[in-house]
Structure formats: structure tokens, C-alpha cells
Amino acid sequence: MSTHTAAVDTLRDSLVQVRTEVGKAVVGQDGAVTGLIIALLARGHVLLEGVPGVAKTLLVRSLSHALSLETKRVQFTPDLMPGDVTGSLVYDAKVGEFEFRKGPVFTNILLADEINRTPPKTQSSLLEAMEERQVSVDGVSLALPDPFIVAATMNPIEYEGTYTLPEAQLDRFLLKLVLDIPERDAEYEVLRRHADGFNPRDLAGAGVTAVLGAEELHAAQAAVASVGSSPDVLAYIVDLARATRRSPSVKLGVSPRGATALLASAKAWAWLSGYDSITPDHIQAMVLPCWRHRIQLRPEAELEGVAVDAILRAVMAQVQVPI
């Protein structure tokens, strides 16, 4: 085994260990933990959907702790202004000029809590940061820290006083992860830990330790970028995307950006699973989290209660899988 291969295997083992570390604080959300790690490896952003109280905030804090990354949280409200997120110019009377005070977006993992509770003007202030990884102030562009990821949460049951995220912004999120109420055994384990004195604000006390840092994460991202993809597999992604646009229940199907997002996330999942190139299995595993927020249903399909996940499963059943 070459030195390079051994180093890559060590990186992979460390990222698998991150899941174990997060599991010391968060119970029953293994899929969401893996999804966040995939997003970090693919340099993408994540939309977290779940009812209040399923540990969305704790999940992000635990992950950043295990990766030695900085995290900040912004509670999005109807009166939140763009400058409250990106930062603003403040007049310094001592020197007689304006200086820029950085906002919470200048971090590694930004937890945008209830992003659909703030008006479109503030939502769009995140767009440049998410896509260009920079903030422009007074004609000057300021680079954000690297790595940078937005983990935005949404409450799926309470729509009063919310603002629907525009399609252009939804498309900027690599994955949409759904955090369900945990199974009975997992919920019992949550209660048992709290009965034993678990404090969600004291991650170190819970035994969560840093496994790797930003430098190792950059090396892992480079390794993910080198994962191969055959022409047949690329054609399979294209066929899946085109099939979503032909579905009678769909008003707006997956865009070419959505297809590239599926490729990126499938590469990350393949590398994390120990493969040198992606297979149809890796693509199928990532279709739902990668595409469920990119499809817009026709009004009549919404009235009939058609689920986007069901449409995507039907598309995968219809499209021929390359052998």
C-alpha cells in the first residue's frame, strides 16, 4: 500500500469516527450526520427539515466540535436585516471613518435557524455568501473562511408568518435532509442520557472530542474530487434528471445544476464508502436528499397529496440502470 493510499484511508477513517463522536451527543439521526459530512466533502450547503426538538441545532454544534470548526447561529425573524447576517459598516468616531463589523456569516458552519421566517430581502443576503463564498461591502469583496457551509433549518408544520424560499435559493442547497422523530429505542436513549445528567450545552462533558481539523478536511475534499465516474454513470444521472422533467405531476424538474449536485454528492458518498469511482448504487442513495427540494409539483398534484419523494422513487424505478 502506498503512502498516499494509507493517508487517504486514515482520512476516511477519521471522518467515519466523526459520526461516532456526534453520536455521543445526538441519538437516532445517523442519516442526517452522514448527509452533513457529505455536504462538507462536496463543498455544499444543507437544508434541515424537521419539527422542533429533534436536535437540529445540537447536531450542527456537535459536528463542528468534532471537526474543530467554528460555528455561529442566527435565529431568522421577520425583522432581521441583511446586515445582521453579513455585517455592516459602523462609524468609528475616534478615527473619523467607517469600519466594517463582520456578521455571523464569517464562520465555518453557519446555522440559519428557521430561514423561512425572514423576508426575501434577508434570505437573498445569503445567496452571494453561499454561491461565491464572499461578502461584498461598499465595493470590496471579503472572502469567507474555508471551509464554509450553511446549514439552514425549516419547520415543516408551521407556515403562518413564513416566507417561501424562492427556487433560485433552494437550488443553492446541495442536500435537503429530513430529521424525523426518532424511533422508540432512540427516544428512550435520549431520555436516559438526560436522566444521567447529559447537558447539551457541554459537548466536552458529553465526551465529544475533535477528530480532525480544517487542514485534514481540505485533503479529504481533494480526495473526493479525484473520485472517478464512467460515461455510463454520467449518462444515468442525465437520464434520471430528464425523467423528472417528463413526469406528469411535475411543473419544474431537476435542472443541470441539480444533476451536477447529484454527481458531487455521489462522489462524496462513494469516497466515504471506500470506492475509487461512483456506481449506480451511490447515485440512487443520493437522489432523494439531493433532488427532493429541486422539484416543483403541479397545483393539481399538490391537491392530490402527491409526494416528491414518491415521484423520485418512481423515476428511479423507470430509468434503466447501467450494468
Q: What is the DSSP annotation of 150-211?
A: EEEEE-SS--TT--PPPHHHHTT-SEEEE-PPPPHHHHHHHHHHHHTT--TT-TTTTT----
Q: Which of 120, 128, 78 has the alpha carbon at shortest distance from 103?
A: 128
Q: Mutual orientation of helices 3-23 and 256-272 as an angle, nearest 10°?
A: 100
Q: Which of 289, 254, 242 has the alpha carbon at shortest distance from 268?
A: 289
pLDDT of residue 51: 81
Q: Of 225, 254, 274, which one is at a domain's C-terminal end?
A: 225
Q: Which residues pair with 178 in a beta bridge?
A: 49
Q: Which of 116, 135, 124 has the alpha carbon at shortest distance from 76?
A: 116
Q: Of 178, 197, 225, which one is at a domain's C-terminal end?
A: 225
Burial of 118-152, coded b for 16+ CB within 10 Å and e otherwise, reads beeebbebbebbbeeeebebeeeeeebeebbbbbb
Q: Which residue has the cell 464508502?
A: 273
Q: Mutual orientation of helices 256-272 and 30-41 as an angle, nearest 10°?
A: 110
Q: Which of 22, 23, 183 has the alpha carbon at shortest distance from 109?
A: 22
The rounded distance, in Å, linking the Cα atoms of 204 and 281 is 37
The rounded distance, in Å, linking the Cα atoms of 283 and 281 is 5
Full domain range(s) for residue 277 = 227-322
Residue 83 sits in the same domain as residue 5? yes
Q: Of 206, 225, 244, which one is at a domain's C-terminal end?
A: 225
Residue 53 sits in the same domain as residue 192? yes
Residue 194 sits in the same domain as residue 258? no
Residue 108 sits in the same domain as residue 24? yes
- Burial class from Cβ neighbours inside 10 Å (0-12, 13-18, 19+) for residue 161 reads exposed
Residue 100 sits in the same domain as residue 196? yes
10-residue mean pLDDT profile of the chain (323 residues): values are 72 88 86 92 91 84 90 89 86 81 91 87 82 83 89 76 77 91 89 87 83 88 92 95 92 92 96 93 95 91 89 93 82
Establish whether the linkage from the previous residue to 147 is cis, with ω within 30° of 0. Answer: yes
Q: Which runs of consecutive H residues, i.e. helices, occur in the chain?
A: 3-23, 30-41, 56-66, 82-86, 120-132, 167-170, 184-195, 214-225, 231-246, 256-272, 280-291, 299-303, 308-318
Residue 48 sits in the same domain as residue 140? yes
CATH of the domain at 296: 1.10.8.80
> With a threshold of 0.75, does the pTM exceed it?
yes
Residue 97 sits in the same domain as residue 245? no
- All three cell numbers of 52, joined, read 422542533
Q: Hey, is 115 helix, strand or coil? A: helix
Q: Which of 72, 63, 55 has the alpha carbon at shortest distance from 129?
A: 72
pLDDT of residue 292: 93
Structural domains of the chain, count: 2
* Cα 36 versus chain centre, distance: 5
Q: Mutual orientation of helices 56-66 and 30-41 as an angle, nearest 10°?
A: 50
CATH of the domain at 202: 3.40.50.300
Residue 136 sits in the same domain as residue 101? yes
Residue 213 sits in the same domain as residue 238? no
Residue 221 sits in the same domain as residue 237? no
Residue 113 sits in the same domain as residue 188? yes
The rounded distance, in Å, linking the Cα atoms of 111 and 58 is 10
| Contact (CB, 8 A) for 15 and 220 | yes
| Contact (CB, 8 A) for 42 and 264 | yes
pLDDT of residue 159: 62
Residue 180 sits in the same domain as residue 81? yes
pLDDT of residue 4: 67
